[in-house]
Structure 1
Amino acid sequence: MADDDRQMHRLQTVELDDESLAASSRDQEQERQIAIFDLLEENFFHPEGAERGPYDLKMGLIENRLVLDIRGPDYERRHILSLSPFRSLIKDYFLICESYYQAIRSSTPSQIEALDMGRRGLHNEASEVLRARLAGKIETDVDTSRRLFTLICALHWRG
């Protein structure tokens, strides 16, 4: 992918719908903020039919569906995706993150590393599912879809 393409098709803002957000723990809030920061630092986000960005993205939930409201200079569209393909991934992600947060406070470095490897593997799997679900609607790179999955999870966190 050419650098010009990456610069032209990128997110400039990401917002999570306040009404969709659940209460979160300090660790979850920090992970959400890091995901947004990293996403804005480097991303590739090309909505089908859009000539150029940058784009503003607002993510939320409506009736247990993921809503992506996207705006760009020549583009404005809402995409609604079923979350069914993500349910087990989100549940597993919550479990492994909870274990990871606990391990950071009381486990050995090798135990923390093992949990982190599991968390990354699950993140990669979820990233591929998300990219497949977005096919024909929005093209992203792997890192962008990984961070978007973190934000999908943020919409489900229960503190």
Structure 2
Amino acid sequence: MAEQPKNRLIDVVLDESIGRSTPDVEHEREVAIFDLIEENSFHPVGDDEGGPYRLRLGVRDNKLVFAISREDGEQVVTNILSLTPFRRIVKEYFMICESYYEAIRSASSAQIEAIDMGRRGLHNEGSQTLQDRLAGKIDVDFDTARRLFTLVCVLHWRG
């Protein structure tokens, strides 16, 4: 069996500040967390000891809180990001997702594909924004930023 890389997440927990939602939203959150843990590259800048890491995500005062600890629970660092740079992207992402789900029911395959391209483009924009905002704090590759952005979106989804 291949050895797992050290600089990765092995656990992601949503802080009580997130609150509970509908069963559908809770399911989406669980899927987003599973996908993130399944494949990621995650390393707090300046942590020479390395992981693997546990991440506790929360929202406090309209800020996204990344509380990072080691596998044994030892606290590594807490990083806080303003959610303001994500507001427009998340709002537009939700709107285009609604259009996509409506289109699946009645639109042509060309229309569905066009909407899906727009959805993926917004998701990429949000992922890049997250990666940029984490720069100098947490090193993540683009795929990990995509999975984290999915989770940020799911945190805002009320169902």
Classify the TM-score, shorter chain: 0.7 to 0.9
1:1-159 matched pairs, under 5 angstroms: 7-21=5-19, 23-24=21-22, 26=24, 28-50=25-47, 51-72=49-70, 76-159=76-159
1:136 match: secondary structure: coil
Is contact 2:15-2:57 (8 Å) kept?
yes
State the 4+ residue runs in structure 1 displaced beyond 6 angstroms. Answer: none
In the superposition, the TM-score normalised over structure 1's length comes to 0.86
Structure 1 pair 96–22 and aligned structure 2 pair: CA distance change class (3 A)? farther
- Give the superposition deviation at 1:151: 0.9
Query: How far apart are the structure 2 equivalents of 1:32 and 1:87?
Result: 19
| Structure possessing the higher relative contact order (Cα contacts under 8 Å, 6 or more residues apart) | 1
Query: How far apart are the structure 2 equivalents of 1:12 and 1:79?
Result: 18
Q: How many residues align?
A: 155
Sequence identity (%) = 56
Is contact 2:20-2:26 (8 Å) kept?
no
Is contact 1:22-1:157 (8 Å) kept?
no
Counterpart AA for 1:148: L
Query: How far apart are the structure 2 equivalents of 1:88 and 1:13?
Result: 29
Is contact 2:65-2:78 (8 Å) kept?
yes
Is contact 2:41-2:140 (8 Å) kept?
yes
